Amino acid sequence: MKLLGIACTIGLCLMFTVPGSFAADPPNFDFLGHVASVPTQPGGTLQLLSVINNNGVIPTPIPLDFTSTEHTLVIEATLLSQSGNVQLYSPGTVRLYSDSGPATAHDFANPSTFSDGTLILSGSFSGNLTRQLFTTSLGSTVGNISWSGGSRLGELGSNTSGWALGGGLSRGATLPSGYVETWDGKIDQATVAVNTSTWGAMKQLYRP
């Protein structure tokens, strides 16, 4: 009976906690942008120009005003190596800007409009940024980011490393003139480290 009681308690906890965990994505920077050219030889540079949108619903790791301010994300990375359809980029930088000037709204025909705001976060990839094609027109991007600069770096506290970038890429006809690839992805806030324990040790905490 004691084991049954413990099992029922765990079940009730799951009933009340699991649904909430799927109510919304954790805070992240949701981005959509384009790449003008993809290098084919080591040493070549890839540049992503993108806009942070978060769909007006998903919270961002630091508060951002989407009503009167535009937020852009610029990624620049050097091709390190290529094996088949997999490219590894290193080093690579990530910069996030906030621009409240409507006269300088982003314009893919004018790349400088993506970096003319206030630099609020800057960092680099820890290890490689991986770009992989699954078909001739679809693929993915994966990497880990460590933040090290920007006017709002302090708002992250000590949680500046281990941020995961991930998303899909596509090649198609719905691209701005002069661009070859679309990246649709997000940068997830790093999880806070916790102490590991066993179920037996946890039960001991509640015994007299």
**How much is the pTM?**
0.80
pLDDT the model gives residue 25:
74
- pLDDT tops 50 at residue 20: no
Q: Which residues does 157 contact at the CB level (< 8 Å), separation at least 6? A: none
Top pLDDT among 208 and 165 is at 165
pLDDT-derived band of residue 104, with 50, 70 and 90 as boundaries? confident
Rounded CA-CA distance 64/54 in Å is 10
CB contact at 8 A, 33 and 48: yes
**E runs forming strands in 53-160:** 70-83, 86-99, 118-125, 129-133, 138-149
Q: Which residues does 127 contact at the CB level (< 8 Å), separation at least 6? A: 90, 143, 144
Bridge partners of 168, per DSSP, are: 140, 184
Domain chopping of the chain, boundaries: 26-190
From the number of C-beta atoms within 10 Å of its C-beta (0-12, 13-18, 19+), residue 157 rates as exposed
The candidate with the shortest Cα–Cα distance to 91, out of 145, 172, 158, is: 145
Rounded to a whole number of angstroms, the CA Rg of the chain reads: 21
Q: Which residues does 40 contact at the CB level (< 8 Å), separation at least 6? A: 79, 82
Q: What is the pLDDT of residues 56-76, one digit of tens each?
A: 788 999 999 988 899 999 999
